[in-house]
Amino acid sequence: MATIGHNNLNAKLVLLGDMGAGKSSLVLRFVKGQFLEFQESTIGAAFFSQTLAVNDATVKFEIWDTAGQERYHSLAPMYYRGAAAAIIVYDITSTDSFSRAKKWVQELQKQGNPNMVMAFAGNKCDLEDKRKVTAEDLSTGKMIGNAKESRGLYYLDNGLDFKDQQKTYSGATISNENHSDQILDLNNNEGPPEMPQHNDSYKETQSGFTTIDPT
Amino acid sequence: MSKIEPTSTRFVIEPLSQFDLSTHSRTTTVRSIAITSLSNPTILYVGTNSGTLFSLSADTNDSNTSQNGTVPSDSASFLHKLSFIRSVSVSDSPVDAVLVLADLGKVLLLSDGSLFLVDSELSNRAFRLGFSKGVAVVTRRKMRNNESEGLGFDMNNQNHRFLQKLGGLIVKDGETQSGACVLALAIGRKLVIVELVLGSGKSGKSDKDFNNGSLVVLKEIQCVDGVVSTMVWIDDSIFVGTVNGYSLISCVSGQSSVIFSLPDVSRPPRLKLLHREWRVLLLVDNVGVIVDVQGQPVGGSLVFRHGLQSVGELSFYVVVVSDGKIELYNKKNGVCAQVLPFGGEGIGPCVVASEEDKSGKIVAVATATKVVCYQKLPSVEQIKDLLRKKNYKGAICLVEELESEGEMSKDLLSFIHAQVGFLLLFDLHFEEAVDHFLLSDTMQPSEIFPFIMRDPNRWSLLVPRNRYWGLHPPPAPLEDVVDDGLMTIQRASFLRKAGVETIVDNDLFLNPPNRADLLESAIKNISRYLEASREKKLTQSVSEGVDTLLMYLYRALNRTEDMERLASSTNCCVVEELEHMLEESGHLRTLAFLYASKGMSSKAVSIWRILARNYSSSLWKDPALDNIIQDSGENLISGKAIAAEASKILEESSDQDLILQHLGWIADISQVLAVEVLTSDKREIQLSPDEVVTSIDPQKVEILQRYLQWLIEHQDCFDTQLHTLYALSLAKSAIEAFEFENISENLASGNTERKNLATLRNSIFQTPVRERLQIFLQSSDLYDPEEVLDLIEGSELWLEKAILYRRLGQETLVLQILALKLEDSEAAEQYCAEIGRADAYMQLLEMYLDPQDGKDPMFTAAVRLLHNHGESLDPLQVLEKLSPDMPLQLASETLLRMFRARVHHHRQGQIVHSLSRAVDIDARLSRLDERSRHVQINDESLCDSCNARLGTKLFAMYPDDTVVCYKCYRRQGESVSVSGRNFKEDILIKPGWLVSR
Ligand SMILES: Nc1nc2c(ncn2[C@@H]2O[C@H](COP(=O)(O)OP(=O)(O)O)[C@@H](O)[C@H]2O)c(=O)[nH]1
Ligand SMILES: [Mg+2]
C-alpha cells in the first residue's frame, strides 16, 4: 500500500506474469540499469527497492519480482496483498504469456486490493517482427471484466496502433482514450533505464503507478 | 545465485567436536537433537529412535587449537570427542522432539504423541505429562519484551486478560528471561494452548529434582486448514504449517489467515524461527520465504541449492543440512557462504540444531549415529582467513556485513581497513591500498613514513611498531616494495609454468605492469594519503614528517605546482631536510616559498633575486628573432612575478637593511612594487624615512615622491624637511615635464609625441606632476615656500609661484601673476575677496588698466571687475585711475557699469528697507489686536495666582490667557505669567500674528 509522509511515498509494487516474460529483466533495468541476455529464472520472489523523485516528492518503490512458474503461483497472493501497484507482464511474441497475463488481471480484480493500480505491459518490443499479440488481442483484453472493473488498468505496449496517440519519449506513446489507458515502450534492450526525470510526460506516467485511485 | 561466488566463500564455522553413537549403543539411532548454551558448558540433548534421551557436553575449554589462526580443515578426524554425560529412558517410541526449557531447568520431550518432562541433568526418570495424547507438534511461546501489547488489534477485556495470563518465554536483548511456560500443542486439526505448571517436590527439595508437572489448558483453537505438522509461536502470532500451506493464527483472537498455500505435490511444510531477526522462515521445496511477525514477506527468497533435511540458524546465516553437507546461506542476500561436508552422500536423514539465541555460536548436526558440533569462528578469524587467501573483497564484504549488524567496533573496522591497505600495498595495488588507509580512523600517518624515507631518519622513532595481523612484510621504501612485488609476480609465473598454483593476483599476472608506472602510481597515491592526513589533527613532529615527506614525493614526480603550493601555504616542512634537495634539483622557487613561509625572509629574498637575475639574463641571451617579442613579454611577466614574491616578503619584513638592500633590483623591475615595499603598513616597525630617502636611487624620482606622498598623506608626517623635500622634488619634476612638453610642442612631430605619450604612460602616477605639485603646495603649510620659490623662480610655473607668493603674503605679486601673467581674472577677483579689503579691488583695477611692461590695458577684465564689484569701489578713485588713453566708449561703459552697479545697490537697499517696515507694521497691528482683546469677568472669576476673587478689582491678562489680580501682576512683572512662563525667553507666537506676506 502506498503510504505518505513528508512528501515521501512508500509504494509496494509487484510484478506478475508468465515465466520468461521479462519481469526480472524489467526490474533489473529499472533498479540497476542492467540487462542480462541470460537472466536466471526467478525462484520464490526477489526483492528490490528503488527511490524515484517525482515532482517534489520521493517515491520509494518496494518491488517484488515474483516467479512466473505455475508451481509458485500460490505464493503470489502473499506478494500482491497490499500492493499499491502491479505490473502484469507478457511477452508480445507469446500468446500463451498473453493469456496468462489476462488471467492475472482477472485474479487481481477478484482478489487484489481494489485500489491497486494495474499496468498491463507488453515486453520485448524489440522483437516486433515476431509479434504474436495484436491490437485486437489487446482490445479483447480490455473486455476483461466489466468496464468499471477495467478502470485503472494501464496498457503498456508500443507498436500497436491506437488513436489519439501522443509521442512521449523514445518511442513511447500514451493514448488518451479514457485517460486511463497508457501504452508504454517496455523494450529492455534500449532506452534509458530510468527515464529522463525532466520529461514531464514521463512523470505523468510514473505517477500513474503510485496513484491509488486513477479514476 | 546458485553458484558460490568467490567473494562470498568464507569460513564461518569449523568443526569442533564429535560423538559416535555406535560406540555406546549398537542398536539405536539419532532421531532428534537440541542444544542449549544457557548452561555452561554447552549441552546437547539427543533423542533416539529407541526412546532414550542422552546429553553430551560440548566442552570448548580445551579446544582452542583453531583459535590461533590455523586454517580450519575439512576433515573431522582430529576432532575432540563430545563427552557423554548421562542418558535417560523416555518411552518405547522414538523421541520426536526435544525442547530445552533452560529457564526451568527442564527438557520437554515429544514421543509417541505424548509429552514428557525431564530435568536438565537427566538425573531422574522422565515424567509423562497427563492429558496429552496424539500431540504431533509442540512449541513454546516466545515473546520479545514489550512488543506483544501493541499488537492486540481488537482485544476485548476478556482476551486481554487471557493474553496477560498467557505469558511466555520473554526474550529481551538476546537474553532469555524466565517467564511462564506457555505451549501450543498441535493435536490433529486442533491447537491446544496450555501452561506447564511444575509440581512441587517434597519439603526441602527443590523443583529441579522432580520431573512432575501438569498442563493447564488455556484455550483451544480449531484449525480448519488441515493437520498441523509444524509450528512456531512468537508474540501473538502462531505460524502453523499443514500439507495445504501456511497460516498465521492470532493467539489473541484465534483468527487464522492464510500466508500462502503449498503447491499440490510438495514436501511437508517446515517452519523455523529466526531469533536474530525475529522472523519466521517458511519452506516450500528448496525455497525459503522469510516473513515478519505479521506474516508479511521481507526480502527475497532463499534458494537452498541442494534441498534440505533440517534447518537451523547461526548469526546472519541460515544453516541447512542435506546429504551429509552443512551449508550456510546469508539471510539477507541469499548467498551461500560456506559448504562443509560432514559425512558421505547417502548418509541418511540428518538433523541440525542451533542455539535459540541471537548470539549463538554453536550448531550441531546429527546423522543416524554421529553428532558433530561446529563452532562459529570469531569474525576476526574469518576475516584473517579471507585476507590470507587474498580475498580482500570478500573480507571487506564480511566486515561491512558485521558493521551493519553492529557486530564490529569502529576501532576494529579501522584496524582491518589499515591491514587490508597494507596487504594491497604490497600487492602493488596502490590506489586501493590508499582508499583503505583513508577509511581507517586509527591508522597513523607515520606508519607510512618508512615507505618514503629509508630508515634511520628524523622520524624513525615516531613510527608505531604496529604489525597488525602480521600478514604483510615490514615496511620498506616504495622502490623496494615495487621491486619485491615484481619479483613475486615473476616467480609466480615460473611456478605457474611449472604447474604450481600460487595466489597471485591474476590481473597483475596477465598484464605485468612496468616498474616506472608502478612507482608513479605508488608515489601518487601515497601523496594522496599524506594530503588527506594533513587535514587531521597531528602532533607537531608527525605533521613535520607528513609535510616534508609530501614534498619529497611531489619532487619525485616533479610536481612543481604542488610543491610550490605546499611550500607557500602554511606548512610544517622541515627546511633542513629539504633545502639541499630542492637546491640540487633546481626547485628554487619552491625553496624560496618555503623560506618565506618559515619566516626566513632574507634567504627567500636572496633566492628571488637570483631568479630575477637569471630571468633577465636569459632575456638577453636568447635573441631568437621570431620569439623575441613573445619571449620578452613572458619574461617580463615572470620577472615581475618574481619581484612581486620578493616584495610580498619585504612588505611584511621590518628588517630595514634587508629591505633597502633589495629595493634596488625590485625597483629595476617594477617601481610600483618598490613603492609597495616602502609604503607597506603590514610591518611592525616602520622604516626610518631619512634612511629610505637617502637609499632611493636618485634616478627613480617617482619612487621617492610616492614614498614621501605616502608619508605625508597617510602617515601624517609633520616633518617640515620632508614636506620641503617633497615640494622641491615635485617642483623639479614639474619643471622638467614642462620643458619636455615645450620641446615636443615646438618640434610638433609625430615621433616625439609618441615618445611623450610613452613617458607619460610609464609614470606610476595617474595625475600629472603639476597638478600634484599645485595640490600639495596649496594643502600643506609645512614646507618652506621660499626654498621652493628659489627653485621655480626662473620657470614658467606661474600658478605655483602665485600659490607660494600668497603663502608669503606678497599680495601684489600674486595679483600680478593671476591677473597679468595667467590672465585668470576670476582667480584674481577670488584672491581679492580673500584679502577682503576694497583697496585690493582697486589695486587689481589699476593693474588691469595699466599692466605695464608695455602691455595693453585689459579693459574687458576691468569692465568685468567693475560690474562684479563696482559697489565696493569708490567712484572717485575709479575715475582717477581711468587712464586718459582709455577709449571713451569703453570708459563710458565702464563708468556706466559702475554707476549702475551703485544705483542697483542703492535700490536693493531701499527694497530691503521697505520690506522690513512692512513686517514692523504687521507686528504692531498684532500687538494692538492682542491688547484690545475683551475679557469677561464674573463673580466667580479668581486670580490665577493668589486665587482671590477678582470682583471689580483691577486685573491683568498675560498672552497665555492667564488672568491675575493687579497685585499679583505687580509682583510678577510683565514678562512672566503665573504658569512661570517667561515671554522674553520663551517667545509666544499665535497663528494670527504671523506675517503672511
Ligand atoms: N529480446 C528481448 N529479450 C528479453 C527482453 N526482456 C527479457 N528478455 C529475455 O527474456 C528472458 C526471460 O527474462 P526474465 O526477466 O528472466 O523473465 P521472468 O521470468 O519474467 O523474470 C531472458 O533471457 C531475457 O534476456 C526484451 O525486452 N527483449
Ligand atoms: Mg524472473
| pLDDT digits 0-9 by tens, B49-85 | 999 999 998 765 544 444 444 444 444 456 778 888 8
Q: Is the pLDDT of residue B991 over 90?
A: no
Please tell me the distance in Å from B328's CA to the nearest CA on chain A: 18
Q: Classify strands A85-91 and A8-17 as parallel, antiparallel or unpaired.
A: parallel
Query: How far apart, in whole angstroms, are the C-alpha atoms of residue B91 and residue B50?
Result: 8
Q: What are phi and psi of B78, to 5 degrees?
A: -95, 15
Amino acid at B950: L
Name the more confident of A198 and B799: B799
CATH homologous superfamily of B6-377: YVTN repeat-like/Quinoprotein amine dehydrogenase (2.130.10.10)
Query: How far apart, in whole angstroms, are the C-alpha atoms of residue B887 and residue B621?
Result: 76
- Residue B397 belongs to what H/E stretch? helix B392-404
Buried residues in B188-207 as b, exposed as e (16+ CB within 10 A): eeebbbbbbebeeeeeeeeb
Q: Which parts of B593-642 are beta strand (E)?
A: none
Q: Classify strands B228-234 and B213-222 as parallel, antiparallel or unpaired.
A: unpaired
Kindly state the cell numbers that stand for B598.
Answer: 618559515
Query: How far apart, in whole angstroms, are the C-alpha atoms of residue B792 and residue A188?
Result: 95
Query: How far apart, in whole angstroms, are the C-alpha atoms of residue B338 and residue B334?
Result: 12
> Which range (B155-169, B196-210, B301-315, B544-558) has the least confidence?
B155-169
Q: Is the pLDDT of residue B683 over 60?
A: yes
- pLDDT, residue B150, reads 33
R_g of chain A, CA atoms, integer Å: 16
Name the more confident of B993 and B390: B390
Whether the ω angle into residue B41 lies within 30 degrees of 0, i.e. cis, is yes
A169 CA to centre of ligand 1 in angstroms: 22
Partners of B215 in beta bridges: B196
Q: Is residue B122 a contact partner of residue B55, using CB atoms and an 8 Å limit?
A: yes
Q: Is the pLDDT of residue A164 over 60?
A: no
Name the more confident of B334 and B345: B334
Q: What is the mean pLDDT of residues B812-826?
A: 82
Spans of all domains in chain B: 6-377, 379-522, 611-684, 688-804, 810-904, 909-993
pLDDT tier for residue B633 given thresholds of 50, 70 and 90: very low
pLDDT tier for residue B8 given thresholds of 50, 70 and 90: low
Amino acid at B891: A
Length of chain B: 997
Q: Is residue B591 a contact partner of residue B576, using CB atoms and an 8 Å limit?
A: no
Contacts of B743-747 with C-beta under 8 Å, sequence gap 24+, read none
pLDDT tier for residue A165 given thresholds of 50, 70 and 90: very low
Average pLDDT in chain B: 82
Decide: residue B63, CB within 10 A, 0-12 exposed, 13-18 middle, 19+ buried: middle
Q: Classify strands B52-57 and B279-284 as parallel, antiparallel or unpaired.
A: unpaired
Amino acid at B192: V
- pLDDT, residue B290, reads 95
A104 CA to centre of ligand 2 in angstroms: 16
Kindly state the cell numbers that stand for B142.
Answer: 516466545
Query: How far apart, in whole angstroms, are the C-alpha atoms of residue B66 and residue B46?
Result: 26
Nearest to B263 among A46, A47, A74 (CB): A74
Q: What is the mean pLDDT of residues B207-220?
A: 75
CB-ligand 1 contact for A37 (6 Å cutoff) = yes
Q: Is the pLDDT of residue A208 over 60?
A: no
Give SS3 for B376.
strand
Q: Is residue B335 a contact partner of residue B5, using CB atoms and an 8 Å limit?
A: yes
Q: What is the mean pLDDT of residues B135-144?
A: 89
Amino acid at B162: F
Name the more confident of B162 and B807: B807
- pLDDT, residue B451, reads 94
CA A59 to each of CA A15, A45, A153, A169, B517: distance values in angstroms, whole numbers, following the listed order = 17, 22, 21, 21, 47
CB-ligand 1 contact for A208 (6 Å cutoff) = no
- pLDDT, residue B824, reads 82
- pLDDT, residue B613, reads 86
Residues in chain B within 8 Å Cβ distance of A77:
258, 260
Name the percent of chain B in helix, strand, coil, to the closest 5: 45, 20, 35
CA B57 to each of CA B18, B142, B342, B360: distance values in angstroms, whole numbers, following the listed order = 10, 26, 19, 16
Among candidates B11, B39, B42, B83, which has minimal Cα distance to B364? B42
Give me the helix-helix angle, B410-426 and B379-388, nearest 10°: 10
Using the 8-state DSSP alphabet, how is residue B297 labeled?
B
- pLDDT, residue B987, reads 78
Among candidates B300, B284, B331, which has minimal Cα distance to A28? B300
pLDDT, tens only, B771-785: 888 888 888 888 998
Ligand 1 atom 1: residue of nearest CA: A124
Query: How far apart, in whole angstroms, are the C-alpha atoms of residue B982 and residue B976?
Result: 4
Q: What is the mean pLDDT of residues B439-443?
A: 92
Q: Is the pLDDT of residue B563 over 90?
A: yes
Query: How far apart, in whole angstroms, are the C-alpha atoms of residue B977 and residue B993?
Result: 20
Q: Is residue B950 a contact partner of residue B963, using CB atoms and an 8 Å limit?
A: yes
State what percent of residues in chain B have pLDDT above 90: 28
Name the more confident of A191 and B536: B536
pLDDT tier for residue B993 given thresholds of 50, 70 and 90: low
Residues in chain B within 8 Å Cβ distance of A13:
none
CATH number attached to the domain at A3-213 = 3.40.50.300
- pLDDT, residue B739, reads 83
Q: Is the pLDDT of residue B698 over 90?
A: no
Q: What is the mean pLDDT of residues B621-639?
A: 48
pLDDT tier for residue B767 given thresholds of 50, 70 and 90: confident
CB-ligand 1 contact for A122 (6 Å cutoff) = no
Q: Where are the alpha helices (DSSP H) in B824-931?
A: 825-835, 838-849, 859-869, 875-881, 888-931
Contact B303 A44 (CB under 8 A): yes
Among candidates B255, B276, B278, which has minimal Cα distance to B148? B278
Q: Is the pLDDT of residue B890 over 90?
A: no
- pLDDT, residue B503, reads 67
- pLDDT, residue B995, reads 55
Q: Is residue B246 a contact partner of residue B237, using CB atoms and an 8 Å limit?
A: no
pLDDT tier for residue B713 given thresholds of 50, 70 and 90: confident
- pLDDT, residue A154, reads 53
Dihedral, CA of residue B343, residue B344, residue B347 and residue B352, to nearest 10: 30
- pLDDT, residue B151, reads 34
Q: Is the pLDDT of residue B895 over 80?
A: no
State what percent of residues in chain B have pLDDT above 70: 86
Ligand 1 atom 14: residue of nearest CA: A22
Q: Is the pLDDT of residue B501 over 60?
A: yes
Q: What is the mean pLDDT of residues B914-929?
A: 86
- pLDDT, residue B888, reads 73
Q: Is the pLDDT of residue B770 over 90?
A: no
Using the 8-state DSSP alphabet, how is residue B199 labeled?
P
Mutate to test the interface with B, among A13, A40, A74 (most CBs of B within 10 A): A74
- pLDDT, residue B896, reads 76
Residues in chain A within 8 Å Cβ distance of B259:
78
Residues 6+ apart with CB under 8 A from B745: none
CA A196 to each of CA A49, A85, B295: distance values in angstroms, whole numbers, following the listed order = 19, 21, 37
A141 CA to centre of ligand 2 in angstroms: 23
CB-ligand 1 contact for A20 (6 Å cutoff) = yes
Q: Is residue A60 a contact partner of residue A51, using CB atoms and an 8 Å limit?
A: yes
Query: How far apart, in whole angstroms, are the C-alpha atoms of residue B35 and residue B354?
Result: 6
> Which range (B232-241, B419-428, B739-748, B763-772) has the least confidence?
B739-748
CB-ligand 1 contact for A158 (6 Å cutoff) = no
Query: How far apart, in whole angstroms, are the C-alpha atoms of residue B651 and residue B628?
Result: 33
Q: Is the pLDDT of residue A189 over 60?
A: no
Decide: residue A83, CB within 10 A, 0-12 exposed, 13-18 middle, 19+ buried: buried
Q: Is the pLDDT of residue B398 over 60?
A: yes
> Which range (A181-195, B189-203, B482-496, B775-789) has the least confidence?
A181-195
Contact A45 B288 (CB under 8 A): no
Kindly state the cell numbers that stand for B741.
Answer: 612638453
Q: Is the pLDDT of residue B621 over 70?
A: no
Taking the alpha carbons of A91, A95, A96, A98 in that order, is the dihedral positive or negative?
positive
Interface confidence (ipTM) of the complex = 0.75
Q: Is residue A74 a contact partner of residue A40, using CB atoms and an 8 Å limit?
A: no
pLDDT tier for residue A18 given thresholds of 50, 70 and 90: very high
Among candidates B807, B811, B799, which has minimal Cα distance to B839? B811
Q: What is the mean pLDDT of residues B82-99?
A: 91
- pLDDT, residue B505, reads 63
Q: Classify strands B80-81 and B13-20 as parallel, antiparallel or unpaired.
A: parallel
Give SS3 for B548.
helix
Q: How many CA atoms lie within 13 A of B987 on its CB side?
A: 5
Contact B260 A75 (CB under 8 A): yes
SS (H, E, C) B643-692: HHHHHHHHHHCCCHHHHHHHHHHHHHHCHHHHHHHHCCCCCCCCCCHHHH
Query: How far apart, in whole angstroms, are the C-alpha atoms of residue B437 and residue B418?
Result: 5
Q: Where are the alpha helices (DSSP H) in B458-600?
A: 478-497, 506-510, 515-534, 540-556, 560-568, 575-584, 588-597
Ligand 1 atom 25: residue of nearest CA: A37
Decide: residue B104, CB within 10 A, 0-12 exposed, 13-18 middle, 19+ buried: buried
Kindly state the cell numbers that stand for B483.
Answer: 621491486
pLDDT, tens only, A29-87: 888 888 888 888 898 899 999 888 877 888 899 999 999 888 889 999 999 998 999 99
pLDDT tier for residue B264 given thresholds of 50, 70 and 90: confident
Partners of B258 in beta bridges: B247
Q: Is residue B266 a contact partner of residue B285, using CB atoms and an 8 Å limit?
A: yes
- pLDDT, residue B619, reads 59
Dihedral, CA of residue B321, residue B326, residue B329 and residue B330, to nearest 10: 130
Query: How far apart, in whole angstroms, are the C-alpha atoms of residue B59 and residue B81?
Result: 9
Of A32, A39, A127, A185, best ligand 1 pocket probe by most atoms within 8 Å of the beta carbon: A39
